[in-house]
Structure 1
Amino acid sequence: MAEKYCVENLAVSVLDNLRYQHDWTELQILTHSPVDDLPLPRPLISGLPPRRLYLHPDDQIEMLKSHPNPEGSIPETPVTEWVLPVHLAEKWTLKAFASVFDSMPPENSASPHRVKRVLLATVHDDSTVVYYFMHDGIVKPRQN
């Protein structure tokens, strides 16, 4: 892939955007897997958003079943999110996205399950950053 931009600079730009525009904390740029210290195909950012960004439909069902007051608000305790900085001009394939998911550490040390999603941070030439969730596989629709 011929790059007119540096992936490390993209990561720094996105990290600054998350920190100063979206109030994320505990941010770090990873170039090697924290599990086996192998190089990642791309730098990834991990961090803690100010509130939960997404609730997987399976987790949503469990929370609704266990929550004592269905009319009340469900707690929004934030969880660590993974962010993949990319440039708008890049051409990505399913194989490239799969290699990113394959290289990511498990959800937590007690679980062998791989991460279900990554926040795709798409950077434009004018420094605009747009965020989308990229899921690993098919995700069923949310319950209303």
Structure 2
Amino acid sequence: MASQDHLASLCKVVLNNLEYQHDWTQLQQHTRAGLSRPLLYGLPPKRLYVHPDEQIDIIKAEKDRGERIPQEPEVEWVLPVHLSEKWSPAQFAAVFDGIEAIPPGGAEQEASEGEEREEQWRLWRGPKRGKRILLATVQDDSTVTYYWIFDGLVKPRQN
């Protein structure tokens, strides 16, 4: 188990990286009973992930409308870890069990889009959104590498 000082340091490195290198906004630290360590959440400058089934629904909707559908960014979870840490599937499962699919602030953003909520492609941003976390792996030289991790299986994206 990492010390509180170590966890605070990891969070600070990742927070600074996201804010100053990747232009994220609304960054917050999230601590909650039941979580063994703090997580971060925030709004990236562009949309980072589109579920493969959502991608199909968007393509169909764009064809029907005859215009592109803008892909607004979504609030995302971020889990800071150090490269030397050893994580088990049970530890990742415990983190997923301790969070909601949409981080705080993400639901209000979605509700404000209100119009045309019945469209199939919009559902992926609300009730169908699965739990996902951007794993921020910090190396000794403060380099941060990001990987998506998902709660459960997700079929591969189509390019």
User: TM-score band, normalised by the shorter chain?
Assistant: 0.7 to 0.9
Equivalent in the alignment of 1:67: 62
Q: Given that residues 106 and 113 in structure 1 are in contact (C-alpha distance below 8 angstroms), is that contact kept between their aligned partners in structure 2?
A: no
Aligned residues: 139
Higher-strand-fraction structure:
1
Q: TM-score normalized by structure 2?
A: 0.76
Q: Equivalent residue of 1:27, what SS? A: strand
* Residue 99 (structure 2) pairs with residue 84 (structure 1): no
| Mapped partners of 2:94, 2:68: distance in 1 | 37
Q: Given that residues 26 and 47 in structure 1 are in contact (C-alpha distance below 8 angstroms), is that contact kept between their aligned partners in structure 2?
A: yes
Equivalent in the alignment of 1:28: 28
Equivalent in the alignment of 2:144: 129
Change (3 A) 1:9 1:68: same
Q: Could you list the per-position Cα deviations for residues 39-84 of structure 1 after superposition, in whole angstroms to 9, with x for gaps in the alignment?
A: 4222110000000011011221221121147997552310001000
The structure 1 residue matched to 2:131, chosen from 116, 123, 135, is: 116
Structure 2 unaligned regions, length at least 5:
112-125
Runs of 4+ in structure 1 displaced over 3 angstroms? 68-74, 108-115
| Root mean square deviation of aligned Cα | 2.7
| Mapped partners of 2:157, 2:144: distance in 1 | 26
Higher-helix-fraction structure:
2
- Shift, 1:143, TM fit: 2.6
Structure 1 unaligned regions, length at least 5:
33-37
Equivalent in the alignment of 1:35: none
Q: TM-score normalized by structure 1?
A: 0.83
Q: Given that residues 31 and 43 in structure 1 are in contact (C-alpha distance below 8 angstroms), is that contact kept between their aligned partners in structure 2?
A: yes
| Mapped partners of 1:113, 1:93: distance in 2 | 26
Q: Equivalent residue of 2:58, what SS? A: helix
